[in-house]
Amino acid sequence: SVVSAVRAVKHSVKETVSCVALCVGRSQRAPADETSLAVDRAAMEVNFHGPVCVAKHAMSLLRASPPGGSPAGGREHGRFLVICSLAGTVPSPAQASYCAAKHALRAWFETLRAEMHPSRDGVGVTVCCPGPAGGAPRSVFGAVLEADADGAEQHSRAPASMSETDVPGVSVVSSPDDKASVKSVDGKKEKRLDPLWVAQVCVDATEAGANEALLAPPPLLGFALLYRFVPFVANLALRLKGPKRVAACRSGASLYEGLTN
């Protein structure tokens, strides 16, 4: 359990804990109105409740560190590094459950940051929101949860034809060309962030004491900034692009074709 894990850290770590990194996520592919409530709940459990649960139990570890122990220095005792997603900053058609969970995760930690008193609590928060990254294949939620032989629900996977390495995916970082891998999906190429580069930028943002870091290939990063500062124009673009993305989801094509290449 989370409680026993935190206790184990307290007993095994000789020095104080200065940073807790929260990196967990499971994506989802299905139109919003076709997604079951079971998938909605499961996506929230993994992407929101899990990191929040760990943070609540790990808070005491960070508060126990001496002032200046945080990677960001200053008066901070410690800092949370939260790996969110670019889908936690903008609507993401065909990923409503995942998008909602990541928005909730970002909002919860931004609220936590606002509640922390520098001298009393001394805990900082850096939220990193990367766009689509490369890496090993992973399972994703579909429209429903499948039942196993005993009738217990288990997490569904995306259709075999669907890209399972898609991840929806203030410091604003546009990935340089040499830090973006090229991935082929159904014969079409798209750029994805180098996971090692993403990890290094997240560490750098934490050490700099940044509140937020957005990491994405230029087209996606540009849209994220447009949605933040000129939402009316961004929503017009979404009305045009959203239905096409849902159609791509139903056909098993890449959700990022035309956005990252």
Per-residue pLDDT reduced to its tens digit, 102-125? 999 999 999 999 998 867 788 999
> How high is the pLDDT of residue 156?
47
Q: Which helix (H) or strand (E) holds 42?
A: helix 37-44
**Range with lowest mean pLDDT among 49-63, 94-108, 132-146, 173-187:** 173-187
Selected residue with higher pLDDT from 68 and 47: 47
Task: Note the pLDDT of residue 219.
Answer: 87
Q: Which residues contact 109 (CB under 8 A, 6 or more apart)?
A: 55, 80, 82, 84, 125, 127
- The β-bridge partners of 192 are 181
Rounded to the nearest integer, the mean pLDDT of the chain is 82
Mean pLDDT of 154-163: 39
- What angle, 0 to 180 degrees and rounded to 10, lies between the N-to-C axes of helices 231-251 and 218-229? 130
Of 13-22, 50-59, 153-162, the poorest mean pLDDT is in 153-162
Q: Tell me if 131 sits within 8 A of 172, measured CB to CB.
A: no
For residue 14, what pLDDT band results from cuts at 50, 70 and 90? low
- For residue 231, pLDDT over 80 is answered with yes
pLDDT computed for residue 94 by the predictor: 96
Q: Which residue is it, tokens 């050490």?
A: 207
Question: According to the model, what pLDDT value does residue 192 have?
Answer: 80
pLDDT at 248 over 80: yes
Whether residue 28 is predicted with pLDDT greater than 90 in this model: the reply is yes
Average pLDDT over every residue of 48-54 = 95
Provide the pLDDT for residue 101.
98
Which residue spans within the chain are E strands per DSSP? Answer: 19-22, 78-83, 123-130, 146-147, 153-154, 171-174, 180-185, 188-193, 212-216
Taking 50 as the threshold, does the pLDDT of residue 76 lie above it? yes
Please measure the distance between the N-terminal and C-terminal CA atoms of the chain and give it in whole angstroms.
Answer: 42
pLDDT at 90: 97
Token code pair at residue 191: 């750029």
The sign of the torsion formed by the CA atoms of 160, 163, 164, 168 equals: negative
Question: For position 65, what pLDDT does the model report?
Answer: 86
Residue % of the chain over a pLDDT of 70: 78
Who contacts 104 (Cβ-Cβ below 8 Å, separation ≥6)?
44, 48
Looking at the predicted structure, is the pLDDT value of residue 161 above 60?
no
Higher pLDDT, 139 or 170: 139
Separation of alpha carbons 52 and 223, rounded Å: 28
pLDDT at 73: 83
Asked if pLDDT for residue 230 goes beyond 90, the answer is yes
Strand pairing class (19-22; 78-83): parallel
